[in-house]
Structure 1
Amino acid sequence: MFAVRARPGTLRQVAPQLNRRAILRAAGVAAASGAVFTTLPRLATADPDGDEQHVFRHGVASGDPLPDRVVLWTRVTPTDDAHPGSGRGPSSTVRWEVATEDDFREVVRSGEVETGPGRDHTVKVDVSGLDPATRYAYRFRLGGATSPVGRTRTAPAHGAAVNRLRLGVVSCANWQAGFFAAYRYLAERDDLHAVVHLGDYFYEYGSRQYPMGYDIRTHEPATETITLSDYRRRHGQYKTDPDLRALHAKTPWICMWDDHEVANDRWSGGAENHDPESEGSYGARRAAAYRAYFEWMPVRPDDIPLYRRLRFGTLADLSMLDLRSYRSKQVRPFSAEADDPGRTLTGRAQFDWLADGLADSSARWKLVGNPVMIAPLLIPPLPREQLGALLNVLGLPAEGGVLATDQWDGYAADRRRLLSTISRRRVSDVVFLTGDIHTSWANDVPVDAGSYPLSPSVATEFICCSITSDSVGDLLHAPPRTTSLGVETAIKTLNRHVRFVELDSHGSTVLTVTPGEVRMDWYYLDNRARRDSPSRLAHSHRVSSGTPRIVGPPLPVSLP
């Protein structure tokens, strides 16, 4: 099936773990597509004006493309007081239209949908009856106002032979930490079939809480997001960014949440960045965050499970994992509990869905949208300043530790079961696409990292850099490609399966999938503090079909 769902596992209700919050307070800071796809003329990505800017000020978006359907999204502002999270404004009837050309002379699907303050004036339509592998234009209307025109495309038919799939892969966009020039770069391309967002679409922190004590831009609301109104306002603020709106309007997105869409380092029953004594019930907070997410994001379900599988002909399956809703509470570094088979990262239902889906897939490539790092990572001995910066981006406490316990390292039994399944069932061409840690990596994923390379690699992993969120290089306050070079060398020396790591840069990545190989290209910004920052191709790594090892070398890097 193109989209597969399973019932979620049981959520454990346990008091949350506190570490990063305490640390913050103690520190004084609270190329062309395959032939099966048709094309449309290029659309402008300029900001809308007039009634479009007032009524449809949060833009348009599409997502979760299937061969015959796609989700369309917008938000309307019917009156001046109907701003996000206000609970004000009248109910409205919004018309939507889908056409084969951007002049809308041939409308192929249309309809009307009701919205109002009960769903924060957001509009979401799952449009069916479309043709596979086809580009469409879409728009919305309310009264005399017409939205900006969006573009989307459906997936190929399940049995179609696809020559090429090209995906933007992104994560970790912190409004306060800079401008979204990395989104602008992707929006300027005409060759992406979709954008895969691996989580941390926004950050929950208040002003000057995170990153460490500075704001390039100021969060709205200025306080941490806790209530439904807070989360709606934060979603609304992010969708006023013109580069984010342009990318949403240009191509369909395939999104998964990580932790910051609710609270940092969250698990099934709590979060590091949630204090029940001062912030109330974590369950209520999570419910508010989930409701706002489903209102504001172009995803198909209106409830969990959010994990799902998309298919792109016979070339690739993409399994999007939810690694927050069902996980056991994180353990402390060095704890033997990290290997406890009773603990889980995925939850049992999602694990079985993933393992069976990989084993039963008939696609050439099995791509896994994987919010947190799956390759094991040992932390090398480093000078105190360098160690602290590395531990910060990995979410580890300042006293250090061998295990990155918020990642798959902290759930070793689940990882061992999954990699054993891949090996035992002879599943080939598995590639994990990962976000979360604000840095760039290309990893082999061995069954036993301790004996690698004698132990075989059974999969590979590409990790995208952050859109803006602090990297190790930012936290070291050193010029790019200076102090971090020694940290990178130490990591690769101690972790022989890490084939590439870059700890400084921000930007976006582009994944190109062909029958013979999967290649990741990293595009780095010159300066995240500039909306007009140039973006340059900095590195490329690839994996060939049938050989689960990263190959290079990387492309030469031109320093800014």
Structure 2
Amino acid sequence: MRALDAGPAYFPQAVASGEPGAHEVVLWTRVVDPLEPGARLSVSLQVAQDADFTRCVVDVTGLVPSPERDHTLKVRVTRLEPGTCYHYRFLVERDGQWRGSACGRTRTGTVSPLTRPLHFTVARYQDLLGARASRLDGDEPEFILFLGDSLREAGEAGVAAPSAAPSVSRYRAWCRAYRARSEPRRWHSALPLLVLWEEARCERWRAVWRALCDYLPVDPFHEAVCVGGRTAPIAHAA
């Protein structure tokens, strides 16, 4: 077990999970060195069946966040057990000291979801902020169905006039600020997200949509970075 110091300055937007399947989930973080914001960092990921991380099922090193994606990192972990709660955290070593992210909790889906009711809540961007977030506390959902276009609409109102051309850099700055707030950090760390977008996305918003996706635990592209045994979980990163 590595000796850890809390590293919120290295993980200012904490962690998130999404796209939960019966055997897989996407894990997300953003990691920067507060003294060298442009430095390329090597990140480790641990996934465990307990909150103390004594029963790790994934312990992978050498993950590198992408500066082109604003130093965000996404890892798809596969070959997990269905209907199971997992705990996860990201680690970075600087000056001989391990710094840890906030610990996240996620849950895989069931093999046959139609055999029992699904418990989830539908949330917009505004629902994860302030007083509105408190209404989720008593629901005990398995995941949050997040309306992704509410994030785009809120960002549009916050970064530019409606007639202005979308700016990827401004949207990223807005996403950084939003994800650093306490309530979004709490809910993204506690429950996996499924993100629902409108079917039609105009060409004008394609680059902005990609910038928003950089800050959500969704990812269409992965490459294998660690392969375990025949039945061991596998981590893929993008």
TM-score (norm 2): 0.77
| Equivalent residue, structure 2, for 1:296 | 215
Aligned pair 1:141/2:96, yes or no? no
1:134 partner amino acid:
T
| Equivalent residue, structure 2, for 1:25 | none
Q: Is the 8 A contact 1:115 1:121 kept in 2?
A: yes
| Equivalent residue, structure 1, for 2:12 | 57
Change (3 A) 1:302 1:185: farther
Same amino acid, percent of matched pairs: 31
Q: Is the 8 A contact 1:130 1:154 kept in 2?
A: yes
Higher strand share: 2
- Off by >4 Å, runs of 4+ in structure 1: 221-225
Instruction: Give distance in 1, aligned partners of 2:113 and 2:180.
Output: 39
Aligned pair 1:252/2:192, yes or no? yes
| Equivalent residue, structure 2, for 1:109 | 58
Aligned pair 1:75/2:30, yes or no? yes
Q: Is the 8 A contact 2:32 2:41 kept in 1?
A: no
Instruction: Give distance in 1, aligned partners of 2:113 and 2:118.
Output: 15
CA shift, 1:118, in A, is: 1.6
Change (3 A) 1:92 1:133: same
Flag structure 2 segments of 5+ consecutive residues without an equivalent: 223-238
**TM-superposition CA deviations, 1:287-326 (whole Å, max 9, x none):** 32122122111113259xxxxxxxxxxxxxxxxxxxxxxx
Change (3 A) 1:169 1:268: closer
CA shift, 1:268, in A, is: 4.8
Instruction: Give distance in 1, aligned partners of 2:177 and 2:216.
Output: 13
Instruction: Give distance in 2, aligned partners of 1:301 and 1:190.
Output: 30
Instruction: Give distance in 1, aligned partners of 2:15 and 2:23.
Output: 20
- The structure, 1 or 2, with the larger RCO (C-alpha pairs under 8 Å, 6+ apart) is 2
Select the structure of larger CA radius of gyration: 1
Instruction: Give distance in 2, aligned partners of 1:183 and 1:174.
Output: 5
2:16 partner amino acid:
A
| Equivalent residue, structure 2, for 1:414 | none
| Equivalent residue, structure 2, for 1:204 | 155
Which residue of the other structure, out of 164, 174, 191, is the alignment partner of 1:234? 174
Aligned pair 1:286/2:205, yes or no? yes
**TM-superposition CA deviations, 1:408-460 (whole Å, max 9, x none):** xxxxxxxxxxxxxxxxxxxxxxxxxxxxxxxxxxxxxxxxxxxxxxxxxxxxx
CA shift, 1:181, in A, is: 2.4
Instruction: Give distance in 2, aligned partners of 1:256 and 1:159.
Output: 19
Change (3 A) 1:133 1:237: same
Q: Is the 8 A contact 1:231 1:288 kept in 2?
A: no
Q: Is the 8 A contact 1:64 1:252 kept in 2?
A: yes
2:47 alignment partner, SS class:
strand
1:53 alignment partner, SS class:
coil
1:165 alignment partner, SS class:
coil
TM-score (norm 1): 0.35
| Equivalent residue, structure 1, for 2:118 | 165
For the aligned residues, what is the CA RMSD? Answer: 2.7
Instruction: Give distance in 2, aligned partners of 1:168 and 1:268.
Output: 24
1:167 partner amino acid:
F
Q: Is the 8 A contact 1:98 1:110 kept in 2?
A: yes
Instruction: Give distance in 1, aligned partners of 2:197 and 2:121.
Output: 16
Aligned pair 1:98/2:47, yes or no? yes
1:201 alignment partner, SS class:
helix
